[in-house]
Structure 1
Amino acid sequence: MKRKLLSGLVAALFAVALPAAAFDPFVIKDIRVEGIQRTEAGTIFNYLPVKVGDRFTEEQASESIRALFATGFFKDVRIETDGGVLVVVVDERPAIAQITFDGVKEFDKEALKKGLREVGLAESRIFDRALLEQAEQELKRQYLSRGLYAAQITTTTTPLERNRVAVNFKVVEGDVAKIRQIKIVGAKAFKEKELIDLFQLTTPTWFTWYSKNDQYSKQKLSADLESLRSFYLNQGYLDFNVDATQVSITPDKKDIYITINLSEGEKYTVSGVRLTGDLILPEAEYAKLVTIRPGEVFSRERLTETNKAITDRLGNEGYAFANVNAAPELDKEKRTVAFTIFVDPGRRVYVRRINVGGNTKTRDEVVRREMRQLEGAWYDGEKINRSRTRIERLGYFDEVNVETPAVTGTTDQVDLNFTVKERPTGNLTLGAGFSSSENLVLSASIAQQNLFGSGNSASLQVNTSSTNRTIALSFTNPYYTPDGLSLGWDIYQRNIDPTSTTIAPYKTSSVGGGVRVGVPIAEDDSISFGLAVDQTTITTFSGDPDYGDSPQQYYDFCDEYGNRAKCTVSSLVGTVGWARDKRDSFLYPRAGTYQRFAVEAALPVGDLRYGKLSYQHQHWIPIGTRDYALMLNGEVGWAHGYGGRTLPFYKNFFVGGIGSVRGFEQSSLGPTITQTDGSVDSLGGNRKLVGNAEFYFPIPGTGKERAFRMSAFLDGGQVWGQDEKFSLSDLRYSTGLAFSWSSPIGPLKFSLGWPLKSEKGDKTQKFQFQLGSVF
C-alpha cells in the first residue's frame, strides 16, 4: 500500500508553524521506526506523545514531530502512514567519536576537554556544529587573553562508520605578543617614567617571564588607569581625566603599543571641612577622625581615610551600615575645594550568626576560638577586624575575607561570613652556608603547624651536619584550655661538634626534655613558663692533631665537675618569657611591633648555676601605599653564673652570619683564641648586642606580587666576653641585599653582604641562603 507523507523537513517545521499534510484521522494499529542506527526504538517511543490504540490526528502529528526534534538527536523527522501503521522515519545526527588537539601547548588538553564537556561538546555526545563554532571562538578568546594574538585555530570534522565523527582542533599558537611601549601624552606635572612606574603592565624585563606583566590585558590596563587616576587625585588634581586610550598591535601580531592621553587640570587646596547629618557621637570624636585639613593640598586618599575612619567608628558602636559621603564645593577661580561630610549612621544591628568557609582541612573550632565578635552581640567593627587579624596570625591561611550580609526580612541583624584560603602548614626546611674556608653545612627539620587541622603544632628536627647532630621532637597545643592557655613539651638528644666552624673546639652530648605553658594576659600579650631537665657531657681537647687545643676556660669549667678532659653536668632549667605581637600580618608584615623578653635560669637543684636574659624589639614601618616597609630590629642579651659557679661556656651568645650580622661567618664575632697552627676560633660571650635595619620593597617587574620581596639591610652587632669592657666602638657593621621568594617548592632566602667595619682577623661570609619546602 502506498504510504501517505504527513510532514517534511525540519527546516520547514521551524520556518513556519505548519500543520501536517491533511489526512483522515485513524486508530494506530502499530508504530514502526525507520532510519535509526544508534538510537533505540524504545527511546523514540518514549518521546512520542501517542501510542498504539490512540486516535491519530493532524495536531498529534505536528506535536510528535516537534517532540522528536526537541531531543536534538535528529536532523530530519518524517511521519508517514502505511494503512493503520504509523511510520516514523528519522535521519540521525552523528555522534562525536573523539576530540583531539594538535599544536596546543599553552593549555592543558585534558582541561580543555573538560571545558568542552561542560558546554555539551564531548565524546559520545550528539554532534552540534553550533556548539563547535562556539567552542572555537571561546578557545580563540582564551588565546587572546594569554597575549597570543597570532594564534590560528582550524576545526575539522571527519565522518566515521556508524554515523560518527571525529573532531580535531588544529592550533598554530604563534609567539606571545609583548608590550613594546607605553606612552603617556599630556603629563606636565610629573615625569612620564614616574607615572609608568605606577602601572602593573610593563615592557619586557628580566622577570616578566614569571609575572606575564608584559602581556596586554584589558583588566590590568583598567586597573593601571585607576592607579594613575588615584595618584593624580592624591596630589590635588581634581580635574584630572583620561581622555583616550589607544592599544595597537603590529601586523605580525608580535608587538603591542599603548598610548594614554590625559588632561591634568589644576591643583586644588582644601578651604574647609564641615560635618552634618545625624551626629550621634560627640563632635570631638569626629574631629579626631578627620585627617583632611584646610590649607592642605587635596588628597583623595586622606578624604577616603576620613570617611572610612568615621564609618569604622560608627561600626564599633553597632552601626554596620553607616553611610558617610563627602560633597565637594569647587571654586575654580581660587582653585580651592570645600567638603561637607554627610553622616547617616543607619540602624544599629547585632550579629545573628558567624559562618566559616573555605577551611577544608582546618577544623571550624580552630578558627572560631580566635573570634572576638560574638554571635548575638551588637555588631562591633573593631572586634571583627581584630578577629580577622588573629586568624591571619595563625599562619594557616593565605587569605582571610570577611562579609557582613544583612539577614533577609530583618532590619537589625547581620550574618558574619569568614572565608579563608588555606595554605600548606607543613614545612621541610633545609639550611646551607658557604665560605671560602668551610664546606657546605646542611641542616633539616620537619614541622606541621596545624596537625590534622587541630591547630596543634608538632616538629621533628633531624640535623646531620658535621657540627650539630640532633634529634628533637616538640608538640604544642595552643588551646589546652578554652581560654587560651597553651601546653607543650620537648624531648631531644643533641651532639654538638663545632670544631669545623669558627668556634673553639669542644664536643657536647646532651639529652633532655621539658614542658612549656603559655598564658595570654592581654589581646596581644602572653607570658610563658617552662621547666626542663638536661644532662650534658662535655669533651675538651688537648694537643689533638685534628682539633687542636680547647681554650683554658673550657678546661677550668670541666675542672669544677671532675675530669677536665670529659665531664658530665645535670641541670634543672626554668624559663619565663613575655611576648607582645602587634604586627599586622604573620607572613608579610608591614606595620606594627613585636617584643620578646626571656629569662633562662639553672635552678639550684642541679650542678649548674647560671642565668640568661634576652630582649628583642622589632618595629615595622609602612612606607607609601605599596608593599614597601622598613623593619628595625634590636636584640640584647646578658648571661652570668651565680652561687660561685661559672657560666657554662656552651651557653655563651654568638653573633655573625644569617639572622644576626650578615657579611660575617656564622658565630665568628667576639672574643677569639688563636691555635698553635695559627687558626682563630670564636669563644662567644656573655653579653650580646645586635641591631638590624632592613628596607623591604617589591622586586622590579613583579608588580604587586607579595611572594617576592627584596630588601637592603644594614646590620650591626657584637658579643663581649665576661672580662671584656663593653664598648660600642667594638661593633661590627655590614650592608647588602637580601631576597626572599615563597616559591612553589617552598620559601627561598638569599643574602649577599659586605662588611662596612671589620678588624684584622674577622672572618667574612658574603653569600648565604636558606631553602625550605612546604607540603
Structure 2
Amino acid sequence: MTASNSRHHWLALALVASTTGFAGAGSAQLVKPGTAPAKGPDAPKPSDQPQSNDPRSNAPIVPDAEFDSALPPLSGDLNAPLEAMAPLPAPSTQTPATPAAATPPATTLAGDVLPPTGPSDPQLAQPLTPLSSFDTTPLQTAADVKDKDAPEIRYETATKGLDKAGDGLEGEYKALSALAEGKGKAANATQVAARAREDEALAVRLLKSLGYYDATAISTIETIPDADKTKPARLKATVSAQPGRLYSLSSITVKADATTPPDLVRTQLPLKVGDPIEAARIQGAEANVSLTLPQQGYPFVKVGERDILLDDQTPTGAYTLPVDTGPRSSFGQLRTEGDPVFDLEHLSLFPRFKAGDLYDNRMTDDLRDALVATSLFSTVSVEPVRTGTINPDGTEQVDLLVRQSEGKPRSLGGNVGFSTGQGFRAEGTWQHRNLFPYEGALIASVIAGTQEQGLAGTFRRANAGKRDKTFSLTAGANHSNYDAYDAFTTSVGVRWSYDSTPIWQKPLTYYYGGELVGTNESVYDFTQGKDVRRTYGIVALPGQIKFDRSDSLLNPTKGYRLTLNLSPETSVQGSVKPYVRTMIEGTFYYPVSSSIVIAGRAKAGSIQGVDRDDLAPSRRYYGGGGGSVRGYGYQRLGPFDPNGNPVGGRSLNEFALEARYRFGDYGIVPFIDAGNSYESSTPNLSSLRYGAGIGGRFYTSFGPMRFDVATPLNPRKGDGKVALYISIGQAF
C-alpha cells in the first residue's frame, strides 16, 4: 500500500493522575455551576486581578515530561493496528477532604448516575399507544367546518373597474365568479377571503384576454353591521380591477409556404394592425384559417403556435403565426376498409365531386353525412389520404378512405296525430333497410285510426343508380270513413323519384310513376236521390316537379317554392272515362326580422275531361282541414249533398298567410286561411271561406311540433266553432 492511497490514523491519549488538590477542583466544578468570564466594558482589567501568593500559580497544570510519559508508544509501522486504550480509573467513592475555607461540600456522584431532579411524572411510566390505534384524523380549523348545523355568515359582493373594459366583461366575470357561486353564504370569513382571491385572479385573466396586459386586481373584505343588533354582522367582498392600457397589434406576420392564390392564408386571417390583442379575436381568426383552407384545396393545413412579442412602451404586440399549409390537393379515388356494408361501386354513387376536382372538405363531410343517413352503419368515417401523385395542374392527388362498421339494419318507427274531421290517427312501420343489398329495403306499415285503417307493404331501393334517386313498389289495402265518402281501396303503385333531403336540399326535384287502384265507395247519386256504393277501377300516371329556392327543407325562413302536379287518369265504372288532374302550388317566406317570418301560400287545382259525378269520390278535390283552410272540418269545404255531406268538386283554390314568431325553441303563429272547392272545373273567388286562429310551435332537431287552434270566420250551418290540429312540421 502506498502513501498516496492509504489513510493514516493517529491517536494520542493522555492519562493524568489525580492529585488531591486536582480532585478537589474537579469536585468543585460539579457542585457549582461555572460562570462565563465577563466581556466587554465590564470585564476586569489585568491590573484589577488579585495577585496570587501561590508559587505554583504560574506553573503548568501538567509538566511536559509527565504528559509525554503518559502517551502510549507509537509503532513505526503505518499499517499496524491501533493500540488498545488503557482502562480509565474507576471514579472515587470517597469525598476528599476540603479545607475549612473551601466551598461547602456538595452531593457526590456514584459512578455515572445523576441524582434525581425531582418527583417523577407517573404518565411518563405508562406504555406508548400502539400505532394501529392512533387517531390520524387532522385537526379541524374554522375554515374546515362542514357541519350542516354550523353557523353561516352572509356576505355581499361588488366589483369595480371591470366596466372600463367593456359592457360584456362584467357579465362574464359574474358567470365564473367564486364569490357569486357561493350565493352570499360561507362558513367563515376565511372562506370568503379565499373566494375573493380567486376572483382577483379571474378578473386579471379576463382583462388580459381582452388585451389589457397591465391589468391588476385587489380584493377587500369589510364588515357591515346589521341594523338589528341581534343578528350577526355581514361581510362585503369587493374586487377592484384596474385594466390599465389596451395593447393592440403593431404588425402581423404569417410564415407559410407559397399558396394559390399567393395571399390565401393572410386573406383568411381576419386581423389587421391596430386591432386589440383580444384572445377571442385572435383564436377566431386562426380557426378561420383552419376552416377555410381545407375548403380551398389544402386538406392537411396545420396552424402552429402563435407568438406575440409585447412592447410595454408602446403598448403594442408584434404577432407572428406559423402555418404549415401542406400540398395543394385534388380529389382522387375512394378506398374502403372495415365491414363490407357497401362495395366501392355503390360507394361511388354518393360523392358530389369528380376525380380531379379541387379538394373541398365540405364535400368530404357531405359524403360522410350521406352514408350516415342510410342508417346502415354503426360508425363510418371518411378521411383524406396522401398519395404523392402529382396531377398535371400541380395539385397532389388525395384519395378518400372510407372506414365502415356495420350497424343494425332493422328498425321500428311511428307517428301519431289528431285533427278535427280526421280524428285520431296512428301509423307504425317496420323496415329492414338492407334486405336486398345494396339498400333494398322491405317496409311494412299499419294505420290505426278512428276514421282510417290500413295495411301496406313497400319494396324501396334507395340511391338506385344515383344518389337520392329512389325506386319503390307499393301494395296496400285501406279503409277510409269520412263525411265525404266511405271507401275500401286496394292499390299497387310504382314510382321513381329524385328527392331533397336535409343533407342535400336540391333546387329541382321530381317523381313519376304508375298506379293501379280498385276502390268500392259510397257516393250520393243525385239522379236517384240517395247514397249508393260503386266500384271504380282507376289507372293513373302521376308526376310532380318542384322548384325549391327556400333556405330549409323542414323550417324555411326565406325563399320560395313552386310545385306542379299532373296526373293523367282513366276511371272505369261501366265505361272508360279519361281525364287529367292538375294542381299548382306556390309558397314564399320573407324574414321581417331575425325572429319573425311572414309565410304565404297559394294553391289551385282543376280536373278536366270528366263530369264530377263520374269521378270516384276519393279522386275529387276537397277543401278544409289542417293542411287546407283551418277552422273547417276535414274535406268539408265545397258542395254538399241534401244530407249535408260534402261531395267534393273538380276545382279548388286555397290561400294562407302566417306570421311565424320564434323565441328560442318555441314559437307563436297567428294565421288566416281562405279557400273553397267548386263543382266546375275552374276555381273562382266568389265564394271563399275564411278561417283564422293561432298556433304554437315547439322546435326540435327533426322539425317543429305544430299545435293549431282555428275558427271559421264565415261558417255555414253545421260547421264547428273551433278546430284543433296537432302534427309535425309547418303547415306549409
Q: TM-score, normalised by structure 2?
A: 0.51
Residues 584 and 720 from structure 1, CA distance in 2 versus in 1: closer, same or farther, beyond 3 angstroms? closer
Q: Note the C-alpha offset of 1:565.
A: 2.7
Whole-Å Cα distance in 1 between the matches of residues 511 and 216 of structure 2?
A: 58
Percent identity over paired residues: 14
The residue aligned with 1:390 is: 370
Larger Rg: 2
What are the within-5 Å matches in structure 2 for residues 241-320 of structure 1?
A: 277-278=256-257, 280-282=259-261, 307=286, 311=290, 313-316=292-295, 318-320=297-299
- Which ranges of structure 1 fall in alignment gaps of 5 or more residues? 1-149, 151-173, 175-180, 204-224, 246-258, 500-504, 542-554, 699-708
Question: 2:126 is matched with which residue?
Answer: none
CA contact (8 A) 2:698 2:705 kept: yes
Query: Structure 2 vs 1, CA of residues 734 and 182 (structure 1 numbering), >3 Å: closer, same or farther?
Result: farther
Map 1:157-306 onto structure 2 (within 5 A). Answer: 188=163, 189-190=167-168, 237-239=210-212, 277-278=256-257, 280-282=259-261
Alignment match, 1:613: 583
Q: Which residue is 1:506 aligned to? A: 485
SS at match of 2:464: coil
Tell me the residue number matched to 2:43: none
Give the distance between the partners of 1:264 and 1:681, measured in 2 at CA.
Answer: 78
1:31-430 counterparts in 2 under 5 A?
188=163, 189-190=167-168, 237-239=210-212, 277-278=256-257, 280-282=259-261, 307=286, 311=290, 313-316=292-295, 318-323=297-302, 344-349=324-329, 354-355=335-336, 363=342, 369-372=349-352, 379-394=359-374, 402-404=382-384, 416=401, 426-430=411-415
Higher relative contact order (CA 8 A, sep 6+): 1
Matched to 1:517, the amino acid is W
Q: Distance in 2 between matches of 1:244 and 1:712?
A: 49
Specify the SS of the correspondent of 2:543: strand
1:669–1:718 contact (8 Å) kept in structure 2? no
Shift in alpha-carbon separation, 1:443–1:598, aligned structure 2, 3 A: farther
- State the partner residue of 1:734: 693
Q: 2:516 aligns with which of 533, 552, 560?
A: 533
CA spacing shift, 1:653–1:388, aligned 2, 3 Å: farther
* Correspondence for 1:496: 480
How many residues get paired? 503
1:648, 1:270 → 2: CA distance? 77
Q: CA deviation at 1:491?
A: 1.7
1:710-739 per-residue CA deviation (whole Å, 9 max, x = no partner) reads: 444444433322366449996534333233
Shift of 1:412: 8.0
Q: Which amino acid aligns with 2:416?
A: G
Q: Is the 8 A contact 1:268 1:335 kept in 2?
A: yes
Match of 1:103 in 2: none
Is the Cα contact below 8 Å between 2:692 and 2:710 reproduced in 1?
Answer: yes
**In the aligned structure 2, how far is the partner of 1:261 from the partner of 1:423?**
58
Contact 1:351/1:379, CA 8 A, preserved across alignment: no
Query: SS of the residue aligned with 1:450?
Result: strand
Give the C-alpha shift of residue 369 in structure 1. Answer: 3.8
Specify the SS of the correspondent of 1:603: strand
Deviation at 1:427, TM superposition (A): 3.5
C-alpha distance in 2 between matches for 1:593 and 1:398: 36
Matched, 1:575 2:579: no
Secondary structure class of the residue paired with 1:571: strand
The residue type paired with residue 566 of structure 1 is R
Shift of 1:477: 0.6
CA contact (8 A) 1:432 1:443 kept: yes
- Give the conservation status (yes or no) of the 8 Å contact 1:671–1:682: yes
Q: Does the 8 A contact of 2:353 with 2:363 survive in 1? A: yes
In 1, Cα distance between the equivalents of 2:355 and 2:216? 47
Aligned to 1:768: 726
Corresponding residue SS for 1:540: strand
Q: Which residues of structure 2 form unaligned runs of 5+?
A: 1-145, 149-154, 182-198, 220-236, 391-395
Aligned residues of 2:711 and 2:723 also touching (Cα < 8 A): no
Separation in structure 2 between the aligned mates of residue 489 and residue 195 of structure 1, nearest angstrom: 62
Q: Which amino acid aligns with 1:611?
A: R
Q: Distance in 2 between matches of 1:403 and 1:750?
A: 36
Structure 1 letter corresponding to 2:723: Q
Shift of 1:567: 3.3
How much does 1:649 deviate? Answer: 5.1
Alpha-carbon displacement from aligned partner over 1:378-405 (angstroms, at most 9, x marks no partner): 7442321331343354466798765557
Query: Which one of the candidate residues 653, 678, 691 is aligned to 1:687?
Result: 653
- C-alpha deviations, 1:554-581, integer Å up to 9, x for none? x46x99xx99733333332112233578
TM-score computed with the length of structure 1 as normaliser: 0.48
Equivalent position of 1:47 in the other structure: none
Separation in structure 2 between the aligned mates of residue 337 and residue 591 of structure 1, nearest angstrom: 44
The equivalent of 1:487 in structure 2 is 471
* Paired position in structure 2 for 1:468: 452
Match of 1:459 among 439, 443, 449: 443
Tell me the distance in 1 between the aligned counterparts of 2:446 and 2:238.
58
Deviation at 1:515, TM superposition (A): 1.0
Say if 1:482 and 1:769 are closer, same or farther in 2 by CA, change over 3 A. Answer: closer
Answering whether residue 606 of structure 2 is matched by residue 656 of structure 1, we say no
* 2:634 matched residue in structure 1: 667
What's the Cα RMSD here? 6.3
Deviations 1:39-77 (A, max 9, x none): xxxxxxxxxxxxxxxxxxxxxxxxxxxxxxxxxxxxxxx
Pair 1:450-2:433 in alignment: yes
Q: Deviations over 1:128-183 (max 9, x none)?
A: xxxxxxxxxxxxxxxxxxxxxx9xxxxxxxxxxxxxxxxxxxxxxx9xxxxxx999
